[in-house]
Amino acid sequence: MVIRRYRDLPEAIIAKSILDSADIESFLIDQNMVRLDWLWSNLLGGIKLVVRVEDAEAAAELIQQGIPEKFDVEGVGEYKQPRCPRCQSFDVDFQGLDRRLAYGSLFLGVPIPITNRAWKCHSCGHEWDEDDGDAP
């Protein structure tokens, strides 16, 4: 039974890995066609995540779960997910390498790894420094 369709392969692989970790047997259909040429994804109806009928409800529940706010890491302790101070979204990314400047330095013939210690929210576009008081 098809429980989800994905346009992009990385999302489909993550969903399949969630089900694999819960010992729910699943398959991705049309993943190789999309891997060869992602433009085929729309024509084929996306990458289909398929599970057995008896596992469909449990699988759909697992995939719909949100990102946990915090969780325990063995040997480290409690890990709290970073979130945007403006919109409280978990869809944030640490921008360690300033790609624009670092890649621009390649034209000079000397690659210089210029770092940028900032976070960026993909939901609202807000950027903040790691050292700010409102950092996660």
Residue 47 is predicted with a pLDDT of 94
116 lies in which domain range?
80-129
Looking at the fold, whether 7 and 53 belong to one and the same domain comes out as yes
Residue 131 is predicted with a pLDDT of 66
Number of domains in the chain: 2
Which contiguous run of DSSP H or E holds residue 13? helix 9-21
Look over the chain and give the mean of its residue pLDDT values, rounded to a whole number. Answer: 86
Q: What is the pLDDT of residues 42-81, one digit of tens each?
A: 889 999 999 999 999 999 999 998 777 888 888 888 988 8
Looking at the fold, whether 8 and 45 belong to one and the same domain comes out as yes
Asked whether residue 52 is domain-assigned, the answer is: yes
Looking at the fold, whether 121 and 97 belong to one and the same domain comes out as yes
Q: Please report which confidence band the pLDDT of residue 26 belongs to, taking 50, 70 and 90 as the band edges.
A: very high
C-alpha angle 121/123/129, rounded to 5°? 15
pTM of the model: 0.60
Contacts of 95 (CB under 8 A, 6+ apart): 116, 118, 119, 120, 127
